Amino acid sequence: MPRCTVTSEAFRFPKFFVTVASPCPYLPGRFERKLFTELVGEEAALLHDSLAQVGFRRSQRIAYRPACDACSACLSVRIPVADYVFTRRDRRILRRNA
């Protein structure tokens, strides 16, 4: 029977961290926490794509999402750009900013 060798490479999963609770910048009287990881290494782009699909946002090399106790008011919204229909107002703004 062939012998399996386990290397540290096989267990290279991203490490996730949670911030301490701090005042919520959006909802008065509430506190926020964030779940985050660093986007580094050869698989950073793939990791970012996967995390974005489940509501993570990105700021430079950090991917994060709200992880608030007893609150889910902050949700990431993804708009399918190819299916977006511009309103009259959108078109007017585009013309002014061209």
- In the beta sheet, which residues pair with residue 31? 23
> Whole-model pTM above 0.75?
no
The model's pLDDT over 22-79, given as tens digits with 9 standing for 90+, comes to 999 989 999 999 999 999 988 999 999 999 999 899 999 999 999 998 888 887 777 8
For the chain, give every domain's residue range.
12-96
pLDDT computed for residue 10 by the predictor: 45
- In the beta sheet, which residues pair with residue 62? 38, 59
Are the CB atoms for 64 and 76 separated by under 8 Å?
Answer: no
